[in-house]
A and B are shown apart, each in its own frame.
Chain A
Amino acid sequence: MMQRREFLISTATVTALSVANIPVISFAQVFRDATDENFWNIVRRQYDVTDKITNLEAGYWGIMSIPVTQAYIKNTHFVNQNSSYYVRRQYGDDYNKIIARLAAKLGVGEDELVLTRNASEALSSLINGYSKLSPGDTVIYADQDYGSMQSEMRYLKKYRGVDVVDITIPEPASYQAVIDAYKKALDDHPKCKMILLTHVSNRTGIITPVKEIAAMCKERGVDVILDAAHSWGQFEFDLQDLGVDFIGFNMHKWIGVPLGVGLLYIRKNRILDIDPLRGEAGQENNNIRTRIHTGTVNFASVLTIPDALDFRENIGQKNIENRLRSLRNQWVNPVRNNDKVEVLTPDDERMYAGITSFRIKGKGSYQENADLMKLLHEKYGIFTVAIGGLANGGGIRVSPSLYNTREDMDKLAAAIKDITAS
């Protein structure tokens, strides 16, 4: 039987927190031109993706890079082997270290973050738990928000007795037009207490001017709950600068951790405004961890977060952002002047990153877009997703990632040209 000290030593060699042999690539934090195909080919080769299809549906979740997959398999083995002995004794420390790293990265306090199993769980806890609502108050959401978050907002009518207002984001969207749409909504509904904002719309890819809208809200005493499922990891932003107190993030989309990991942020002085979840002891406490109650989770996924962060930091967040924008432009630019196509994000760099949706003019029904998705898949070998739920009709969402090539995007542009020509 091994002694305690030996256990710790052998643990260190097995656990993923020692990443010595993990990073296959290590680049200095230098600017990499988004069109430096040699460089991006090196990055692309860190992904093992199927060549059966051109996958432009990274918006669902992000494929793990090979180093992250390897770390995850190793962590799974480690947790499986040491089981509750590891979790009951050491996992808490490892968890805290990971939270500390995330907090440093986001520029927030360690006591302002808790891991969830995805953004849905984080946002559900925020929307349902937001306790400042009284019957007769108003809450506002928009047609660009994610479907299940919209439903959570609508549910507040029954649960909290509030009026729920659904607004439409103008199309084509512009920076000021989006701000004005929220301004009008706030003016029209002086009893509004809380609004849901989506940082990057999962339906269109539009980046919402969160900072400006949040500032307007603050003047009126309105709280903002921010759905950042698609933003963090896709482009750079300063969380403090946004001026929002309640945020739900995903880590398995654009951060590239294993499936089933999200993050919840609540500003320290606002924690008491979110109800603790049942199953968590003590109702009157300001510990953010009582705002999530998961039961036993996949610990190995959590332990793999540092590997995913390492991988991305090696490439550089700004480089990733530029690359994703460049891949988006690669297909949007030739399509922009096609008068049969509506591109649903404007060419204002503040308003798009990698994700952008399009619609063939006059074909807004869900069925038409489901058919188009099928056509792109079967005839052109391109995998995308049909989106619905927008006031002006649905479309096709295109989400490239680091494993996509410039040729992938050309293939899509050609397919759209071909389809609209016929």
Chain B
Amino acid sequence: MDRRDFMQTTAALAGLTLAGGAITACAQESMDKDSEAYWQTIINQYKVTDEFINLNAGHWGIMSEPVRAAFAEHTAFINAYSSYYVGHGRSAIPSARNYNVERIEILGMLAEKLGVQVDELAFTRGATESMQLLISGYNKIEPGDTVIYADSAYYSMAAEMRHLEVYRKANVVQLKMPDPVEFQQSIDLFEEALKNNPRTKLILLTHMANRTGVILPIKEIAEMARGYGADVIVDMAHSWGQLDFNFVDQGVDFVGFNLHKWIGAPLGVGLMYIKKSRMLDIDTKSSKGPPGNDDIDNRVQTGTMNLAAVMSVRDALNFVNNIGIEHIDKRFRALRHRWVQHFVDDDRVDILSPEDPRMHCGLTSFRINAHPDPRALGRQLLTDYAINASAIPEYNGIRVAPGFYSSMSDLDALVAAIKEIATSLE
């Protein structure tokens, strides 16, 4: 099969057509990217079920149709060419496509988007893996040193921090993040902990809390922590792709990202960033060569992973870059505002991320104070209102995570549901 045949076979196999997406893309160019009309063209590129309203984009992001079609094509391509495409690190025919060449190209796109160097990034299978590698690999901890995290951290990252007690003989300190929390208050929380624990070497920070959507002032906390000689490892699983921020400006050296949440790549792809000058502070994996080398690839050991998913990151980036992060950020804020505005002054309902624009973006949670059981509330939303959102028992609340495919009317339905339930409990 030659390449042209292959493309035809793939298209037939995948049963998809890219034509619709391409036409839409042309028309979009002249549109105001913050308008409802523009976002309708984006929504049109997602094939989501109409059986319920999906407000759980926080679990992972649905792929747009162009990305899904590309993924199907890459899957068929890699399946046909198999290990030949990977080429064991070398491709004998210079013109032939090669996985490692394409992988580096895609890392280059990611590096450009982040404003970092390509050799500071490595693919993982998700933010969880990135963060596991960073937390357990961080080797500047001596027995008796302190490591700090807040209870708003993702549970498996918190567990990874607690494991440092066994693994590095560290003194592990868990902070209680105030709820609600204010900008300066969140900085002070960590500063006070640093004062109380002068041997602190490491802080885990979650850029956007997965349960509440609260955004922490990463830049300010990292800068303050540096003054106390502490490093920060940052979990950006939920922020990058949703929130418009300058990555380099944050001044952080160790970061885990997801690509299958807000970047919209196929499931099972994440990214790890280690600042080049800090590479030796993260251990190499036991199966990846001797310590002392500064190649980030030696800090990841995935075994064979879903290569087509990695290839599709290019398509996902093209899709979101075409919209532009400033417009994505604005859109998510508008979606949040659409429902939150109804409850800011409603005593029956708490909104779990602050109104301070520095501290929220799209993902935000709520609780109905009179409702005792968040899981039951989640079921009620689904059964009675056909709204799918995630219960967050730790906060007695419900997480509302609209996606690229969400419409304003989806949030209107949520408002009506919350009001009706809150009224029924009076």
Indicate whether A and B interact. yes
Contact (Cβ within 8 A) A260 B286:
no
Q: A53-B84, A73-B15, A82-B49 are in contact. Are A299 and B306 (CB under 8 A)?
A: no
Q: Which residue of B lies closest to A48 (CB)?
A: B80
Q: Which residue of A lies closest to B67 (CB)?
A: A80
Does A1 touch B at the CB level, under 8 Å?
Answer: yes
Contact (Cβ within 8 A) A124 B1:
no
Does A296 touch B at the CB level, under 8 Å?
Answer: yes
Question: Could you say which residues of chain A place their CB within 8 Å of the CB of B48?
Answer: 81, 83
**Stretch from B29-37, B69-77, B102-110, B176-184 at the A interface:** B69-77
Contact (Cβ within 8 A) A377 B301:
no
Cβ proximity bits A1-35 to B, threshold 8 Å, 1 near / 0 not: 11010110010000000000000000000000000
Question: Could you say which residues of chain B place their CB within 8 Å of the CB of A88?
Answer: 56, 59, 390
Q: A50-B84, A298-B268 are in contact. Are A61 and B128 (CB under 8 A)?
A: no
Q: Which of B92, B260, B304 contacts A118 (CB 8 A)?
A: B304
Within 8 A of A (CB), among B36-68: 47-52, 54, 56-57, 59-60, 62-63, 68
Contact (Cβ within 8 A) A385 B88:
yes
Cβ proximity bits A230-265 to B, threshold 8 Å, 1 near / 0 not: 000000000000000000000010000011101000
Question: Could you say which residues of chain A place their CB within 8 Å of the CB of B267?
Answer: 79, 296-300
Within 8 A of B (CB), among A58-97: 58-61, 63-64, 66, 69-70, 72-73, 76-77, 79-85, 87-88
**Stretch from B159-167, B240-248, B358-366 at the A interface:** B159-167
Does B79 touch A at the CB level, under 8 Å?
Answer: yes
Q: Which residue of A lies closest to B77 (CB)?
A: A50
Q: Which residue of B lies closest to A57 (CB)?
A: B83
Q: Which residue of B lies closest to A62 (CB)?
A: B82
Contact (Cβ within 8 A) B156 A50:
no
Question: Could you say which residues of chain B place their CB within 8 Å of the CB of A148?
Answer: 287-288, 301, 303
Does B421 touch A at the CB level, under 8 Å?
Answer: no
Q: Which of B15, B62, B79 contacts A64 (CB 8 A)?
A: B79
Bound CA span A306–B312, Å:
25
Q: Which of B6, B288, B390 contacts A50 (CB 8 A)?
A: B6
Does A175 touch B at the CB level, under 8 Å?
Answer: no
Does A367 touch B at the CB level, under 8 Å?
Answer: no
A224 to chain B, nearest CB (A): 20
Bound CA span A368–B205, Å:
49
B307 to chain A, nearest CB (A): 6
Contact (Cβ within 8 A) A85 B54:
yes
Cβ proximity bits A341-353 to B, threshold 8 Å, 1 near / 0 not: 0000000000000
Does A407 touch B at the CB level, under 8 Å?
Answer: no
Q: Which of B51, B81, B125 contacts A297 (CB 8 A)?
A: B125
Question: Could you say which residues of chain A place their CB within 8 Å of the CB of B93?
Answer: 378
Does A154 touch B at the CB level, under 8 Å?
Answer: yes
Within 8 A of A (CB), among B1-37: 1-2, 6, 9, 13-15
Contact (Cβ within 8 A) A117 B302:
yes
A294 to chain B, nearest CB (A): 7
Contact (Cβ within 8 A) A252 B83:
no
Does A44 touch B at the CB level, under 8 Å?
Answer: no
Central interface residue in B59, B84, B386, by most chain A CB within 10 Å: B84
Contact (Cβ within 8 A) A152 B286:
yes
Bound CA span A152–B303, Å:
13
Contact (Cβ within 8 A) B160 A259:
no
Question: Could you say which residues of chain A place their CB within 8 Å of the CB of B83?
Answer: 55, 57-61, 383, 385
Contact (Cβ within 8 A) A81 B62:
yes
Contact (Cβ within 8 A) B92 A260:
no
Question: Could you say which residues of chain B place their CB within 8 Å of the CB of A258?
Answer: 75, 306
Question: Could you say which residues of chain A place their CB within 8 Å of the CB of B62?
Answer: 80-81, 83
A161 to chain B, nearest CB (A): 14
Does B293 touch A at the CB level, under 8 Å?
Answer: no
Contact (Cβ within 8 A) B75 A55:
no
Bound CA span A51–B264, Å:
33
Central interface residue in A10, A66, A85, A151, by most chain B CB within 10 Å: A85
Does B213 touch A at the CB level, under 8 Å?
Answer: no
Contact (Cβ within 8 A) B82 A55:
yes
Contact (Cβ within 8 A) A147 B287:
yes
Contact (Cβ within 8 A) B163 A278:
yes
A143 to chain B, nearest CB (A): 16
Contact (Cβ within 8 A) A2 B50:
yes
A373 to chain B, nearest CB (A): 8
Does A218 touch B at the CB level, under 8 Å?
Answer: no
Cβ proximity bits B382-417 to A, threshold 8 Å, 1 near / 0 not: 010010101000000000000000000000000000
Question: Could you say which residues of chain B place their CB within 8 Å of the CB of A128?
Answer: 286
* Beyond known contacts A64-B79, A69-B13, A296-B267: 9 more, CB 8 A cutoff: A1-B52, A1-B386, A55-B82, A80-B63, A83-B54, A117-B302, A124-B301, A259-B306, A297-B125
What are 8 A-B contacts defined by CB distance under 8 Å?
Answer: A7-B52, A60-B83, A73-B14, A85-B388, A117-B303, A258-B306, A281-B159, A293-B128
The 9 closest A-B pairs by CB, nearest first: A295-B128, A120-B303, A279-B156, A155-B286, A148-B287, A60-B83, A84-B59, A151-B287, A118-B303
